[in-house]
Chain A
Amino acid sequence: MVALVIALALFFDFTNGFHDTANAMATPIATGAIKPKTAVALAAVLNLVGAFLSTEVAKTISGGLIREGTDGIHITPDIIFAGLMGAVLWNMITWLKGLPSSSSHALFGGLIGAAIVGIGIHSINFDTVLIKVILPALFAPLIAGGVAYICTRLAYALTSRHDPETGDKLTQKRGGFRTGQIFTSSLVALAHGTNDAQKTMGIITLVLISAGTQSPGSGPQLWVITACALAIAVGTYAGGWRIIRTMGSGLTEVKPAQGFSAETSTATAILASSHLGFALSTTQVASGSVIGSGLGRKGTSVRWGTAGKIALGWLFTLPASAIVGALTALLVNIGVVGVVIAAVVGTAAVAYMFIASRKSQVGHHNAVEVDEAGRAVRFRKKKKPGKNNRSEGVQR
């Protein structure tokens, strides 16, 4: 069971990586600052480095994350397994739809759902959930968006040059921001590594502790750190092109100066908050920044339709992954057979989504691809009741 949970946790880390490549690399790719392949490789390396830089977050998670959701009640590998299943499946679905949703929220949601079924509704401290998860979800994009807005205004104000006599525009060299973007986007990737890779490390450490192979209160072991760092780096390199498309051009058209401002805001917001022990979602911060920078430049329109879709995705992230987590917890409660079924169904669902993504990539044009991905997801949801039926069949 422990080995299974660790494998699943590493896979979650992988999905987290390719889900969140977009946060760091969508804007520089959109402005042409870095070539897509190079950008993804750079992000992968920096994620790897970032994961090694600081394990503070992992330590607080292995001691605090579960208490956030379940208020200190003893957690078993079974529940973590169910929670991870919820998180992984939701990550795959949103990736298929090209929605930049929060991997952290998927993880929280999955664990909460699993804990409700596995332990009971009393295990959830809803006040803590509100303060630690819901409030940051509201404020993270607002803070980052506001700062990105101010920065974009400043960047344009400072670089705009007019001839005092004729009023003609002088050379502004705003292309210079493109070079800066290489550094700011690297910083975002680094911040992502110091933040999101830690979540998986924390989970694995927690499993090891609950299985009794590691003493409580100790930090992640070296092999755990290495495995997580590699998993997130490989995931990042695999690249979530669908989400990159949404973030890079779906929300607003990004110019180098805007991209620079957005990335600076994202990186500082993530680093500041994780340093001050504030649980923020990388994805939500990045989306907020991109919208903020879109508002900051005159003549840029923000596609509120897409923004609304993304926000809707955020709303659903927690409950949806909670439901999948809860269903998996139901299965796991049956016993070994249930675990096997959950693992098989989960693998099948993930494989199915990979195949679905292949199919829609043939079309390759944006609109077509989004449509087909949407159809594919709806199709997958039809499969879900099938999964329930099967689990009930086993129960009987």
Chain B
Amino acid sequence: MKWMEVLQVAGVTLVAAVTLVVLYSLGVRLTAIAADTRQKSTVMARSLAYACFAACAVAVLYGIYLIVPYFGK
């Protein structure tokens, strides 16, 4: 019972943190690509980067939504 809780916390933490970090890192990478002068389609990369940041923000907000009991009931 107790070990299940430990695993659960570990699992949730891992999944949530990795999701956020991967999304944000992709965003950072895409901004870097967009900043390359040789690249032609900077608009594409830049908008993708913003999409990543937005997805990251949505994930955070969803997390808070899950935590606050006011929304849960």
Contacts and interface: CB of A to CB of B under 8 A. Distances in A.
A154 B22 contact: yes
Given A139-B6, A150-B14, A161-B32, A261 B60 contact: no
Please tell me the size bucket of the interface on A: 35 or more
Contact of A155 (B13, B21, B60, B67): B21
A173 B29 CA distance: 7
B67 A171 contact: no
B36 A170 contact: yes
A64 to B, nearest CB: 15
A53 B56 CA distance: 22
A144 B26 CA distance: 22
Contacts of B29: 158-159, 161, 172-173
B31 A151 contact: no
B69 A176 contact: no
A278 interface: yes
A277 B33 CA distance: 43
A272 B68 contact: no
Interface in A157-201: 158-159, 161, 170-174, 176-177, 180, 183-184, 187, 190, 194
Contacts of A155: 21, 24-25
Contacts of A150: 14, 17-18
Most buried by B among A139, A151, A154, A260: A151
A272 B28 contact: no
Please tell me the size bucket of the interface on B: 35 or more
Interface stretch (A87-95, A114-122, A228-236, A263-271): A263-271
Interface of B: 2, 5-6, 8-10, 12-14, 16-18, 20-22, 24-29, 31-33, 35-36, 56-57, 60, 63-64, 66-70
A268 B10 contact: no
B2 A176 contact: no
A25 interface: no
A54 interface: yes
Contacts, number: 120
Contacts of A184: 20
Contacts of A56: 69
Nearest to B26: A158
A168 to B, nearest CB: 12
A176 B63 contact: no
B60 to A, nearest CB: 7
Contact of B24 (A177, A190, A272, A275): A177
A135 B36 CA distance: 49
Nearest to B49: A176
B36 A171 contact: yes
Interface string A233-265: 000000000000000000000000100110011
Most buried by B among A54, A170, A183, A264: A264
A280 B8 CA distance: 14
A170 B17 CA distance: 27
Contacts of B28: 158-159, 172-174, 176-177, 180
Contact of B67 (A158, A269, A275): A275
B13 A159 contact: no
Contact of B21 (A261, A277, A278): A261
Contacts of A194: 67
Contacts of B20: 184, 264, 268
A143 B24 contact: no
A214 interface: no
A161 B73 CA distance: 46
Contact of A268 (B25, B36, B63): B63
Contact of B31 (A148, A176, A261, A268): A176
Given A143-B10, A171-B35, A187-B60, A278 B5 contact: yes
A173 B32 contact: yes
A158 B49 CA distance: 13
15 contacts: A135-B6, A143-B10, A146-B14, A147-B18, A154-B25, A159-B32, A161-B32, A161-B33, A264-B20, A268-B12, A269-B13, A272-B12, A276-B5, A276-B9, A280-B9
Nearest to B27: A176
Contact of A151 (B5, B8, B18): B18
Given A139-B10, A158-B22, A177-B24, 18 more contacts: A54-B68, A143-B9, A158-B26, A159-B25, A159-B32, A161-B33, A171-B36, A172-B28, A173-B28, A173-B32, A176-B32, A177-B28, A180-B56, A183-B60, A268-B13, A276-B8, A277-B5, A278-B9
